[in-house]
Chain A
Amino acid sequence: MDVLLTPSGGKEHLLLGNEAIVRGALEAGMAFATCYPGTPSSEVPDTLYRLRKQFPNKVKYYFEYSTNEKVALECAAGAAASGVRTLCTMKHVGVNVAADPLMTLAYVGVRAGMVLLTADDPSLFSSQNEQDNRYYARLSGLPMLEPCGPAEAKEMTSHAFDLSEELGTPVFIRTTTRVNHAREAVKLAKLGKVKQKSKFVKAPMQFVTVPAVSRNLHLRLLNIHKQAAALSESSPWNKISGRGKLGIITNGVSYNYVADAVADLGAKSKIKIFKVGMSYPLPEKKLANFLKSVDKVLVVEELEPIMEEAARAIAQEKGIKVQIVGKMPGQIPAKSVDVEIPKFLSRAFEYNPRLVRSAIAKAFGLKYKGTAELKLTGMPAPPGRPPNLCPGCPHRATYHAVKEVMGDEAIYPTDIGCYTLGLLPPIQAADFLICMGSSVSSAGGISRATGQKVVAFIGDSTFFHSGITGLVNAVHNNHNFTLVILDNGTTAMTGHQPHPGVNTDSIGDITTHVPLEPLVRGLGVKHVTTIKPFKVRASKKAIKEAVAHDGVSVIISKELCPLFAKRVAPTSKKPFYVNQDKCKGHMDCIKKVACPAMFVEDGQARINPMQCIGCALCAQICPENAILPVKAKA
């Protein structure tokens, strides 16, 4: 059995932050969970999905991968309004998608505990921006808890359900990558009782937000906020440790950096730490007393100066004479973290122990002789190792065919997924990307504004997530572009989760498959073709016809992601090899598609049989027909 399902408490296990969140929810008796995946949140839903599949008789919750975050939150809201404990998870930008229901869900509230996980990603390890979702607590008025590591993540998640029920409102758990993807010892408590089913009790004056109702609900929210503020004052998550006339206010993973730094600096008797765990509403009175008790305060928080601004406001209002330092007005790092790790507290990028230690030493005039950085002059330059589409990835074949037909002239709006790697040479078919779904809608804008040829790319999961409405818009407004839907039968980028377009038989789920082609036709697209991208000639022909179509045309490029296929429908294709007598060293194969299974030796292309999965794309590119399946050799 899985440790996460251990009924009793007491034992310690090394858990990933995201597993700890799952356990916390199970200890709270969670009955319902929805999500849309996204790094760094994905292991929460993936673990819930796995447990339900492996232990159908042990697991008592309903779980779904929803179509997108807005849908996930609305579905969760329905469950929580019906009276079952509900968890909803997403990455930080997912909350943007869910922001519309969020703002008014805050008005109506919930009848059973509801927890919304927002997983932020300072330093953009795998995101399109590094927005600070603590602002969402302020925007919506919902309480927020911020754990500093896995053990606390479990405790807080579990507590958040109680808090949510006490206040009648959803509660945010906000993590950052370093909490989601850290492992530490987590002590289990016993599993909670699950109330699986409930009954929806009608109360239109609470749940139907016409203006007359919502006016009252806004007042309800403000009253809840007041109650939450009082709870924050006595919350065990807002704690002060240490002593001295110097103070640090900090939150989340930064707390660990601060605590280690104060120990390293030997300053435990000089510096008091205010660890903010319930970060909205802030415990303003407690903070005011803290500010009064010290001469100088440093605020250490990644991204936006939210607590810093709050501390300044409190000091100003209460006339507290304390010097507050942090990142305001703020320096801006000269270079991105890829090049250089910032050395001061900035609004950009995540912090680290050394940075925080030196910021504390500097702010408080403390001495610390740390280890010196090595001087790396004359170092042999390590060659770059950018990520690349896998060998046999169907996206590569689709891109190849489109580029052969359209060249570099067409404009290529793209979207988010593995296929975004089409940005890199030699494919270079990515010209515009701002968020999931933007490929389709921006294609309309670009083609209208310029009259240039536009071919947009979108993944299948992304199409279901937020491409459909854009496509309807394009049909309705008579836009003129071609949309290529990269249908690899999975959500590959974030760990191969299912989505509505996934053939459910292959994975043994009890969900219903929504096939793409009839959907696209139903939206009113007149020119729709489904291609098999590894049939290069036929694909090129279909693309030529699609781009010649006046109006919106759609190409569905259908081929399973081989990494996913390996799990669900293994095939036994033979690898290919380069016949050395036939190869004339044109290097077309390498120049055009850059498959990582290929390398060059003696002026000829070669194929690593350990990596080649026999997709035959290169064999169709070679003008000498020198690339052949291994079996033909014998």
Chain B
Amino acid sequence: MSTQRIVFVGVGGQGNLLASNLLGQAALAAGVQVVVSEIHGMAQRGGVVESAVILGEATSPIVSNAEADVLVSFEPVEALRLLPKANKETLIITNTRPMPPFTVAIGAAPYPPPEESVAYLGKKVKKVVAFDGQALAEEAKNPLSLNMVMLGALFGAAELPIDVKTMKKVIRSQTKKRFAASNVKAFDLGFKAAAAA
């Protein structure tokens, strides 16, 4: 099978490392060769957190500029910041709910309106799936499940060599019992939102 390079980006606390780890486990369960890489470090302190999941033949743990097949961004301006990783064939999936950095929150720097960011992404790549993922996480009654919403959206929008059932099984077995049901719900909502887009 050909290689699929997926890059996740989020802000500390949004849980994108869990999403990439679970996707990696689902790949292993589905018998798909996989490498996951993470940048730890500043996650706790509100910085940008990036991770990558590479499915298929490749063994390199990271994704170079212009070589991501899919970008999954948990925050609209982070999708812009990550854009150098994309090429014109890249699929971009982004949450549209802003998490303004501190400089913006205190009015010291402008924050591009999400519609503008999404419109710009749309001009650069083949397909953009943009929706308010946080609203779906809240609909699933688990505001911390944005990572599951985005994982669902990835399955809804991209052709992956892993079936949804395997992914959900991993979510159920690997996330906290208390949240397992709402996590699967969040995944389903994300899936539907992306499949409809």
Q: Please give the distance in Å from B179's CB to the nearest CB on chain A.
A: 18
Whether A14 and B36, one on each chain, are in contact in the complex, defined by CB atoms closer than 8 angstroms, is yes
- Within 8 Å by CB of B42, from A126, A257, A378, A598, lies A126
- Assess the A183–B37 pair: CB atoms within 8 A: yes
B46 near A385: Cβ-Cβ < 8 Å? yes
| Chain B interface residue count, Cβ-Cβ cutoff 8 angstroms | 59
Q: Which B residues touch A56, using CB under 8 A? A: none
Closest to A595 in B: B102
Residue B175 interfacial (CB < 8 Å): no
Stretch at the interface among A349-357, A444-452, A612-620: A349-357
- In the complex, A587 Cα to B60 Cα: how many Å? 48
- The reply to whether A383 and B45 form a contact with Cβ atoms under 8 Å apart is no
Determine the distance from Cα of A341 to Cα of B67 in the docked complex, in whole angstroms.
14
Using a CB-CB cutoff of 8 Å, which residues 339-368 of chain A contact chain B?
Answer: 341, 352-355
Judged by a CB distance under 8 angstroms, whether A201 is at the interface is no
Task: Specify which of B40, B83, B107, B124 is in contact with A40 (CB 8 Å cutoff).
Answer: B40
Known A-B contacts A185-B34, A353-B64; the reply to A126 vs B81 at CB < 8 A is no
Name which of A219-227, A237-245, A369-377, A624-632 contacts chain B: A369-377
Instruction: Let me know if B84 and A373 touch, CB within 8 A.
Output: yes
Among listed B111-119, B129-137, B147-155, interface-contacting one: B111-119
User: Once the chains are docked, how many angstroms separate the CA of A596 from the CA of B33?
Assistant: 40
| Interface flag for B88 (CB, 8 Å) | yes
Asked whether A178 is an interface residue with its Cβ less than 8 Å from the other chain, the reply is: yes
- State whether the Cβ of A149 lies closer than 8 Å to any Cβ in chain B: yes
Docked-complex contact A354 and B47, CB < 8 angstroms = no
- A148 CB to closest chain B CB (Å) equals 8
A370→B78 CA distance, assembly (Å): 25
Residues of A within 8 A of B11 (CB): 385
B111: which A residues are within 8 A, CB to CB? Answer: 383
Q: Is A263 an interface residue (CB 8 A)?
A: yes
Quick check: A374 and B46 within 8 Å, CB to CB?
no
Q: Is the interface of A mostly helix, strand, loop or mixed?
A: loop
A595 to B168, CA, bound (A): 38
Is the beta-carbon distance between B21 and A181 smaller than 8 angstroms?
Answer: no
Pick from A303-311, A387-395, A434-442, A517-525 the stretch touching chain B: A387-395
Chain B contacts for A181, CB-based, 8 A: 37-40
Q: Does A599 contact B (CB under 8 A)?
A: yes
Q: Which residues of B contact A385 (CB under 8 A)?
A: 11, 46-48, 78, 101
Give which listed residue, B59, B106, B125, contacts A256 with CB less than 8 A.
Answer: B59
A382 touches B78 (CB 8 A): yes
The CA of A12 and the CA of B112, in the complex, are separated in Å by 45
B60 near A353 with CB under 8 A, answer yes
**Docked-complex contact B112 and A380, CB < 8 angstroms:** yes
Among A404-458, those with CB < 8 Å from B are 418, 421
B61 and A14 within 8 A (CB)? no
A376–B83 touching, CB < 8 Å: yes
Give Cα distance in the complex from A374 to B121, angstroms: 11
Query: Contact at A256–B45, with CB atoms within 8 Å?
Result: no
Asked if B14 lies at the interface with its beta carbon under 8 angstroms from chain A, I say: no
> Is the CB of B28 closer than 8 A to any CB of chain A?
yes
Contact with B along A8-31 (1 / 0, CB 8 A): 000011101000000000000000
Q: Which residue of chain A has its CB nearest to the CB of B62? A: A352
A80 on interface, CB distance cutoff 8 Å: no
The reply on A486 being an interface residue by CB < 8 A is no
Q: Smallest distance from the beta carbon of B196 to chain A beta carbons, Å?
A: 26
* Contact residue among B28, B46, B61 (Cβ-Cβ distance under 8 Å from A149): B61
A49 and B109 alpha carbons, distance in the complex (Å):
43
Q: Select A371's contact among B58, B66, B106, beta carbons within 8 Å.
A: B66
Q: Which residue of B lies closest to A390 (CB)?
A: B45
Pairwise interchain contact A383-B110, C-beta atoms closer than 8 A: yes
Q: Are B28 and A12 in contact (CB under 8 A)?
A: yes
* Number of A interface residues in the complex (CB < 8 A): 57
Interface centre among B39, B67, B105 (most CB of A within 10 A): B105
Residue of A whose beta carbon sits closest to that of B124: A374
- On chain A, the residues within 8 Å of B35 by CB distance are 149, 182-184
Q: A184-B34, A373-B84, A374-B88 are in contact. Are A354 and B21 (CB under 8 A)?
A: no
User: How far is it, in angstroms, between the C-alpha of A389 and the C-alpha of B34 when the chains are bound?
Assistant: 35
Q: Does B89 contact A (CB under 8 A)?
A: yes
A563 on the B face (CB < 8 A): yes
**CB pair A354 B65 closer than 8 Å:** yes
By a CB distance below 8 angstroms, the chain A residues around B125 are: 374
The reply to whether A386 and B34 form a contact with Cβ atoms under 8 Å apart is: no
Chain A residues contacting B25 (CB-CB under 8 Å) are 14
Q: How close is A18's CB to chain B, nearest CB, in angstroms? A: 10
Q: A173-190 vs B: 1/0 string, CB under 8 Å?
A: 000011001111100000
CB <8 Å contact, A380 and B120: yes
* A260 adjacent to B41 (CB under 8 Å): no
Structural contact, B36 and A183, CB atoms closer than 8 A: yes
| B87: interface (CB < 8 Å) | yes
A374–B36 CB distance below 8 A:
no
A594 within 8 A of B: yes
A260 touches B58 (CB 8 A): yes
A554 to B60, CA, bound (A): 49
Which B residues are CB-close (under 8 A) to A178? Answer: 37, 61-62
B190 adjacent to chain A (CB < 8 Å): no
Question: What A residues does B37 contact at CB under 8 A?
Answer: 178, 181-183
Q: A14-B21, A598-B106, A600-B107 are in contact. Are A257 and B60 (CB under 8 A)?
A: yes
* A352 surroundings in chain B (CB, below 8 A): 60, 62, 64
CB–CB A374/B83 < 8 A: yes
- Closest A residue to B52 by beta carbon equals A182
Question: Does A259 sit within 8 A of B, measured CB to CB?
Answer: yes
Question: For B39, B59, B107, B120, which residue has the most chain A Cβ atoms within 10 angstroms?
Answer: B59
Residues of A within 8 A of B34 (CB): 14, 183-185
Contact status of A14 and B24, CB under 8 A, knowing A386-B47, A387-B45: yes
On chain B, the residues within 8 Å of A590 by CB distance are 106
In the assembled complex, which residues on chain A have CB atoms less than 8 Å from the CB atom of B45?
A: 387-390, 418, 421
CB contacts (< 8 Å) of B104 on chain A: these are 383
Q: Which residues of B contact A390 (CB under 8 A)?
A: 44-46
Confirm or deny: A381 has a beta carbon within 8 angstroms of a beta carbon on chain B.
yes
How far apart sit A384 and B46, CA to CA, in the bound complex (Å)? Answer: 11
Give the distance to chain B from A338, nearest Cβ to Cβ, in Å.
Answer: 12
State whether A371 and B62 are in contact (beta carbons under 8 Å apart), knowing that A12-B28, A14-B25 are contacts in the complex: no
Q: Is the CB–CB distance between B40 and A374 below 8 Å?
A: no
Residue of A126, A185, A354, A378 touching B67 (CB-CB under 8 A):
A354
B163 within 8 A of A: no
User: Residue on A with the closest CB to B63?
Assistant: A353
Given A374-B83, A379-B80, A600-B105 contact (CB < 8 Å): yes
Determine if B86 is an interface residue (Cβ-Cβ < 8 Å).
yes
- Decide if B103 is an interface residue (CB 8 Å cutoff): yes
Query: Which one of A257, A263, A355, A384 lies within 8 Å of B57 (CB-CB)?
Result: A263
Is A153 in the interface zone, CB < 8 Å from B? Answer: no
Q: How far is the CB of B99 from chain A (nearest CB, A)?
A: 9
Partner of A373, one of B41, B60, B66: B66
Q: Known pairs A370-B66, A370-B67, A383-B103. 7 more at Cβ < 8 A?
A: A39-B41, A181-B40, A185-B34, A372-B66, A378-B120, A385-B101, A390-B46
A-B residue pairs in contact (CB < 8 Å), sample of 6: A125-B41, A149-B35, A353-B60, A374-B66, A387-B42, A563-B44
Chain A residues with a Cβ under 8 A of chain B: 12-14, 16, 39-40, 125-126, 148-149, 177-178, 181-185, 253, 256-257, 259-260, 263, 341, 352-355, 370-374, 376, 378-390, 418, 421, 563, 587, 590, 594, 596, 598-600
Which 5 pairs between the two chains have the least Cβ-Cβ distance? Answer: A354-B64, A380-B112, A599-B105, A371-B87, A387-B45
